Amino acid sequence: MVGSDTERASEIAGELMDHFDALRFEPEGRALECRASIGAATLDGDTGSVDDILSEADKAMYEVKSHRRSRP
């Protein structure tokens, strides 16, 4: 999210996850839920390669996933 600070990026990610959580599908009468985990990384002057940025975003996503699993 170019031009967004980390707080705004977190708000947007939360809104997206809420929308995914609200999705419900019932193919052949079976209820399915949709979940999302979103990781974000900041880009600054010290950021290395694209791979480094993706690695940081991936770590953030798995942290979110771990937190979401532990909530009731």
Q: What is the mean pLDDT of residues 64-68?
A: 74
Q: What residues make up the domain containing 48?
A: 6-70
Structural domain includes residue 15: yes
CA dist 57 to 6, 14, 30, 48, Å? 12, 15, 33, 13
User: pLDDT band at residue 59, thresholds of 50, 70 and 90?
Assistant: confident
At 23, phi and psi to the nearest 5?
-70, 135
- pLDDT over threshold 80, residue 29: yes
Structural domain includes residue 19: yes
Which residue did the predictor score with more confidence, 28 or 41? 28
Return the sign of the alpha-carbon dihedral for residues 18, 11, 46, 65. Answer: negative
Query: What's the whole-model pTM score?
Result: 0.58
Q: How many domains does the chain have?
A: 1
